[in-house]
Amino acid sequence: MKIGKKLWLLIAIKLFILFVIIKWIFFPNLLKTKFDTDAQRSRYILEQLTESKE
């Protein structure tokens, strides 16, 4: 049963690296860098969702 516990620990470490560190490196929060307030961010998102693509 010692091998099973070590494997679960390895799986947990890999998942932590995959979901936390990789996300932090490759997917930065661009809205926080471009806009200062929540109102500006929400206005930008609303414009992007409702603008006509034609």
Cα distance between residue 1 and residue 34, in whole Å: 51
Give the separation between CA 41 and CA 47, rounded to whole angstroms. Answer: 10
Q: What is the pTM of this model?
A: 0.51
* Token duo for residue 23: 């996300």
Percent of the chain surpassing pLDDT 70: 94
Within 8 A by CB and 6+ apart from 34, the residues are 44
Q: Per-residue pLDDT averaged across 18-25, rounded?
A: 86
> Model confidence over 29-44: pLDDT tens digits?
888 889 999 999 999 9
Parent domain of 27: 2-50
